[in-house]
């Protein structure tokens, strides 16, 4: 299951491929079927985005649904097994693909502008980003977080110790908030 908040409420994707949309009062407002992944984004976002099929990104904003077809003019290679998705602050889509073992970077037009390969033994997991557009990808097999720039330049991968330290910071922060 994936959950992501947005300006108007909460979006939840079930393991069976259903997307449930709730308003700010947590009243169910919409259900969508055949959803492969729900994109995570900032809570200030006014849209909910998901993938249906291997070539369609759907964007729901103010009750209107827009469909974007993904494409790469240089190859027929497209998404094969998307697992996680995230919307960067510049609006681009980042999608981890377990068959291709990479993270796809896709513009709002649907154009695939890059792939960041995470290694032959690695399955790229959940994705996040920061305001500098650095992209953080969880690597479950190696227990680390890989950080790379929008242009694909590898930043320092975080070791499992560093990842545990980050988790501890978040755990403590949550305790202080409650």
Tell me: the pLDDT tens digits for 131-175?
Answer: 888 888 887 777 778 888 777 666 655 555 555 665 565 555 454
Tell me: the pLDDT tens digits for 44-53?
Answer: 888 999 999 8
What lies within 8 Å, CB to CB, of 77 at 6+ separation is: 100
No. of H helices and E strands in the chain? 1, 15
Cβ atoms 80, 97 nearer than 8 A: yes
**What is the structure's pLDDT at 178?**
28
Cα(94)–Cα(138) distance, integer angstroms: 13
Q: How many Cα atoms are found within 13 Å in the side-chain-facing hemisphere of 164?
A: 5
Residue 95 or 120, more confident: 95
Q: How many Cα atoms are found within 13 Å in the side-chain-facing hemisphere of 62?
A: 0
177 pLDDT more than 50: no
């Amino acid at each position: 299951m994936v959950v992501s908040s947005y300006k108007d409420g909460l979006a939840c994707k079930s393991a069976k491929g259903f997307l449930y949309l709730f308003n700010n009062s947590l009243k169910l407002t919409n259900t969508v079927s055949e959803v492969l992944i729900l994109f995570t984004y900032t809570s200030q976002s006014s849209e909910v985005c998901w993938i249906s099929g291997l070539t369609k990104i759907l964007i729901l904003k103010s009750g209107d649904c827009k469909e974007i077809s993904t494409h790469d003019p240089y190859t027929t290679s497209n998404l094969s097994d998307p697992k996680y998705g995230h919307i960067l602050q510049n609006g681009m889509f980042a999608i981890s693909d377990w068959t291709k073992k990479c993270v796809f970077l896709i513009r709002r037009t649907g154009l695939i502008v890059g792939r960041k390969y995470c290694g032959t033994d690695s399955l790229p997991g959940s994705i996040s980003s920061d305001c500098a557009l650095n992209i953080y990808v969880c690597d479950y097999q190696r227990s680390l977080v890989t950080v790379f720039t929008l242009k694909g330049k590898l930043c320092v991968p975080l070791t499992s110790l560093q990842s545990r330290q980050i988790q501890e910071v978040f755990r403590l922060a949550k305790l202080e908030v409650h």
